[in-house]
Amino acid sequence: MAMVLVPGFMLDADLWRDMEPLLVRFGPISHADLTRDGTLVEMAERALADAPPAFVLVGFSMGGYVAREIVRQAPDRVSALILIATSARGDSEVQAKRKAAIEAQANAAAFRGLSAAAVASSLHPDNTRRTDLIMRIQAMGQRLGGEVFRRQSLLDRNDERSELSAIRCPTLVIAGDQDKLRSHDESLEIHHGIKGSAFEVIENTGHMIPLEAPESLASTIGRWLDRQSLLGTG
């Protein structure tokens, strides 16, 4: 089978670098490009245009929203769905105000990268002083730049909780045990909304699970995929 990895906000394929050697046994891996479009629908359309005919779909954080849109557009092509540290809720009032402030800026020139403090706040308390992780996340943001920051910041995210029951493929929902950006309640809403889905918590992680615990995350995904008897189907 093939696997399509969908990154989160201001992240690129480097998000998955430490995990990929542990996932290649499931088949070829490709990456969704979320840098060129301004809506979830368009992002999903581009990902599908670039994807193999059938695949396991893995979405992290913002990429979870894109992943669910991919399932809506092409349910027959998604063999299994894995949603990591994400939500099905719409924009909160705080998020809406932040979007309005960014939209009011004349252009993307004001983007100076993600601050170390902001990045550290997304990590498990034990990892907040890991400069290697912080700099790696910042480097991804710098590579993507101000235009992508603006587009991704202004994405409309609607409340999808009532639509989760339409997802029929095997689904695994994964949460970080100390994620300050996406709560366990948000992950459990997805788990309870998708009939037959599995739920796992990765210990000693904040929000950035693929970077904070790549081996544990890859192992969790691998065990679940093995149980789905999907090897060799796609």
Tell me the average confidence (pLDDT) per consecutive run of 10 residues in the chain, 234 residues long: 97 98 96 98 98 98 99 98 98 83 70 90 97 97 94 94 98 98 97 98 98 98 88 44
Q: CA 81, CA 5: separation in Å to the nearest integer?
A: 10
Phi, psi dihedral angles at 198 (to 5 degrees): -105, 155
Q: CA 77, CA 223: separation in Å to the nearest integer?
A: 22
**Domain segments of the chain: what residues?**
3-91+153-227
User: What pLDDT is attached to residue 17?
Assistant: 98
Q: What residues does 210 pair with on adjacent strands?
A: none
User: What pLDDT is attached to residue 94?
Assistant: 82
| Homologous superfamily of domain range 3-91+153-227 | Alpha/Beta hydrolase fold, catalytic domain (3.40.50.1820)
User: What pLDDT is attached to residue 231?
Assistant: 45
DSSP at 162: G
User: What pLDDT is attached to residue 107?
Assistant: 66
CA atoms within 13 A on the CB side of 209: 30
Instruction: Name 130's Cβ contacts closer than 8 Å, sequence gap at least 6.
Output: 123
The amino acid that residue 172 corresponds to is L
79 in Cβ contact with 70 (< 8 Å): no
Instruction: Name 47's Cβ contacts closer than 8 Å, sequence gap at least 6.
Output: 4, 6, 32, 33, 66, 70
Instruction: Name 125's Cβ contacts closer than 8 Å, sequence gap at least 6.
Output: 178, 206
